[in-house]
Chains A and B, each alone.
Chain A
Amino acid sequence: MSQLNDTAIGAKVDAAVTASEKVGLLRVLGPAHVWALGVGIVLVGEYMGWNFAVGKGGAYAALIACWFAGLLYTCVAMIDSEVTSTVAAAGGQYTQAKHIIGPLMAFNVGLYLVFAYTMLEAANAITVGFLIDTVAAMTGHEGLDQRPFIILAIMFLAWLNYRGVLATLTFSLVITAVAFSAILVLFVATSPVFGDSPWRHADLVTDLPYGWLGVLAAMHFGLWFYLGIEGTTQAAEEVRSPARALPFGTLAGIMTLLIAATLTWYVCVGLMPWEYLGQSGVPLFDAARLSGSMGLMVLLGIGTMFATLASANGCINDASRAWFAMGRDHYLPAWFGAVHPVYRTPYRSIIFLVPIALIFALGAPLDQVITFSILSGLLTYTFMPLNIILFRRKWPLDTIKRGYVHPFHPLPALALLCLCAVAFFAIFLGYGSQLVAMLSFYIVVSLWFHFRRYRYVHRAAQFTMPWPKPRGY
């Protein structure tokens, strides 16, 4: 009798979960949107933030950091593509962790994603304000109040996200393509192809001012060249063909970024003394100023604006999906797991995260906000090797059909783990207290989740993939 009751209760629970998911997210996106989501979030890293790596260790240190970070993100993209081509659900790495490692890891990963993207969104909004202020100062309007522009940028993009994912990511696709083209145009236009080039690498590029320790330190902001590419997985529940579109969009994205990062470094260090470049707020715009061409200056100004908007746009999209997925699973109040009946977007999550982004955009310095975002991203990357090793162990290749199988396992996982250790050390060199404060935060919320919040979570209902039982359980 008791068993019958349990079965009946179980059926009710399943029915309730199914009913709450009835109005689902729309499957309308293609590989180009996935590319736009990934590159759109990250490309702003070429327009601002990466250059702090030059300040940390000099021009060559930034290049070494750019390539090592590129290696780190190639491992991330390979690992992510394999797991995501199988776990096609909103929440990305959060959903992966839930199925592969366990609820507490998933809760932490969900928070990493939300904070990495929300902080990145705040950093983008700060840059929008800074850029408008710079342009105003150049046209004789000193002392512009940046805050209205910061608020307007966040509110406009949140509204766009609220209204529908297809319009949002099509908007991202267009402005990302313009911003990427602007970097290519700057490179070609300043190169010796069209006569006299303003590049002065021989005179401007110096030795390592801090030695090899500076190279390690530069890894901190080297991550900024690519931070957010892993966000492509957040679209898993909204792409028409996840097994094909997600690996294609993600890997095409990382290749685009490797090219853009190297070109950006080359142009900028050939135009600016490293001491200036290391502290510049808008380095590509400054590079265009030094080219002496008004056309390039306008183009890179527009490119910077578009890159920041595309990034903030993608961040709102990704952070809200992660928050929504956690609400749907009752890791957070279930109220956040609602989908808009008309626009089919996680509208409550989108609205809820707006004031949080504003608090950080209006109240914290840019480097701190960037560091907060990088730290959250780094914690996600450290989780990924553990995730893929356990994934292959619990479900070997012959047990689940994957849309993509990454080669040389476990070498990418081990390489990623080593590079994460280097990045932790790099952050420790300048921002050790923030690192410890943030980890303390995650330890406290983990205890809160395990001992308090988890009681509101259904057990079996969390496992939604049609997979066989994991080996060893």
Chain B
Amino acid sequence: MTRYVPPKQSRFGQILDVAILLLLTIGALYIPLWLGFAGSTLVGESPQNPTWESLGQNPVMVEQWNGLGFTDASAASEIISSRFNYSFSVIELLVMIVVVIGYYALILRFSEKEYRDVIDEKFNGQ
């Protein structure tokens, strides 16, 4: 069994590898942000001239809102009225399932190939 001897990586190559990794990492978070795709936004409009009653708040709730610094209903109106939109398309869901499963399948397949080399060299080469 021939033992694998890796090539020596140049300093420039090492810096380049780290730079690529960093670029991809920052891109993964910031690209969805820049494109405006990231995050679930709250939807819903505040009613005109809201009152605590029209916002569905009971006296205890009003007391707590006051304690938190919201002394009138209009100040809290936006927080109370906004809701998440959980509608989704089945196709998007299927795409996500395929991507997740495909990702793990890819990793397990490549890992297995690499792992066999490791085990062969570690145990079968001795």
> Which residues of A approach B to under 8 Å, CB–CB?
2, 6-7, 9-10, 13, 55-56, 101-106, 108, 115, 200, 203-204, 209-210, 213-214, 217, 271-273, 275-276, 279, 286, 289-290, 292, 330, 332-335, 356, 359-360, 363-365, 367-369, 371-372, 382, 386, 424-425, 428-446, 448, 450, 452-460, 462-463, 469-470, 473
Binary per-residue interface labels of chain B (59-102) against chain A in the complex, 1 for a CB within 8 Å, 0 otherwise: 11100110110100000100110011010100011011001101
Is B25 engaged at the interface, CB distance under 8 Å to the other chain?
A: yes
The prevalent SS among residues of B at the interface is: helix
- Could you show 23 A-B contacts with beta carbons less than 8 Å apart? A101-B111, A103-B114, A105-B111, A204-B61, A273-B57, A276-B79, A286-B68, A290-B68, A330-B6, A333-B9, A333-B14, A333-B18, A335-B14, A369-B29, A386-B104, A428-B88, A431-B38, A432-B92, A437-B38, A439-B103, A444-B24, A445-B24, A454-B114
Let me know if B119 and A441 touch, CB within 8 A: no
Cα A433 to Cα B29 in complex, Å, equals 10
Q: Which 6 A-B pairs have the closest CB atoms?
A: A102-B111, A430-B40, A102-B115, A203-B60, A333-B14, A441-B28
Is B45 engaged at the interface, CB distance under 8 Å to the other chain?
A: no
Let me know if A473 and B119 touch, CB within 8 A: yes
Cα A430 to Cα B121 in complex, Å, equals 46
The residue of chain B having its C-beta at the shortest distance from the C-beta of A382 within the complex is B104
Pick the contact of A438: B4, B14, B28, B114 (CB < 8 A): B28
Residues of B within 8 A of A359 (CB): 26
Residues of B within 8 A of A209 (CB): 83
Residues of B within 8 A of A364 (CB): 29-30, 33
Is B53 engaged at the interface, CB distance under 8 Å to the other chain?
A: no
Is B118 engaged at the interface, CB distance under 8 Å to the other chain?
A: yes
State how many angstroms separate the Cβ of A103 from the closest Cβ of chain B: 4
Residues of A within 8 A of B86 (CB): 210, 213-214, 217, 429-430
Let me know if A460 and B122 touch, CB within 8 A: yes
Cα A365 to Cα B38 in complex, Å, equals 10
Q: A104-B114, A279-B79 are in contact. List 4 more A-B contacts (CB 8 A).
A: A6-B1, A102-B112, A372-B29, A433-B37
Q: A290-B68, A335-B14, A460-B3 are in contact. Are A103 and B28 (CB under 8 A)?
A: no
Let me know if A368 and B38 touch, CB within 8 A: yes
Let me know if A6 and B114 touch, CB within 8 A: no
Cα A204 to Cα B15 in complex, Å, equals 56
Is B43 engaged at the interface, CB distance under 8 Å to the other chain?
A: no
Cα A103 to Cα B112 in complex, Å, equals 8
Let me know if B29 and A360 touch, CB within 8 A: yes
Cα A435 to Cα B114 in complex, Å, equals 27
Residues of A within 8 A of B100 (CB): 424, 439
State how many angstroms separate the Cβ of B114 from the closest Cβ of chain A: 4
Cα A203 to Cα B59 in complex, Å, equals 9
Binary per-residue interface labels of chain B (35-58) against chain A in the complex, 1 for a CB within 8 Å, 0 otherwise: 001111000000000000000011
Let me know if A332 and B60 touch, CB within 8 A: no
Let me know if A289 and B68 touch, CB within 8 A: yes
Let me know if B28 and A432 touch, CB within 8 A: no
Binary per-residue interface labels of chain B (101-126) against chain A in the complex, 1 for a CB within 8 Å, 0 otherwise: 01110111011111111111111010
Cα A125 to Cα B41 in complex, Å, equals 24
Q: A333-B17, A428-B93, A456-B6 are in contact. Are A272 and B29 (CB under 8 A)?
A: no
Let me know if B61 and A433 touch, CB within 8 A: no
Pick the contact of A473: B25, B106, B116 (CB < 8 A): B116
Cα A289 to Cα B68 in complex, Å, equals 8
The residue of chain A having its C-beta at the shortest distance from the C-beta of B119 within the complex is A473
State how many angstroms separate the Cβ of A34 from the closest Cβ of chain B: 29
Let me know if A450 and B38 touch, CB within 8 A: no
Let me know if A437 and B28 touch, CB within 8 A: yes
Q: A102-B115, A441-B28 are in contact. Are A13 and B107 (CB under 8 A)?
A: no
Pick the contact of A429: B2, B22, B88 (CB < 8 A): B88
Let me know if A104 and B111 touch, CB within 8 A: yes
- The CB with the most chain B CB atoms within 10 A, among A430, A448, A454, is that of A430
Cα A292 to Cα B66 in complex, Å, equals 12
Let me know if B22 and A103 touch, CB within 8 A: no
Cα A142 to Cα B3 in complex, Å, equals 66
Let me know if B111 and A436 touch, CB within 8 A: no
Cα A106 to Cα B99 in complex, Å, equals 20
Residues of A within 8 A of B24 (CB): 441, 444-445
Let me know if B118 and A463 touch, CB within 8 A: yes
Pick the contact of B107: A105, A431, A435 (CB < 8 A): A105
State how many angstroms separate the Cβ of B28 from the closest Cβ of chain A: 4
Q: A203-B58, A433-B32 are in contact. Are A460 and B125 (CB under 8 A)?
A: yes
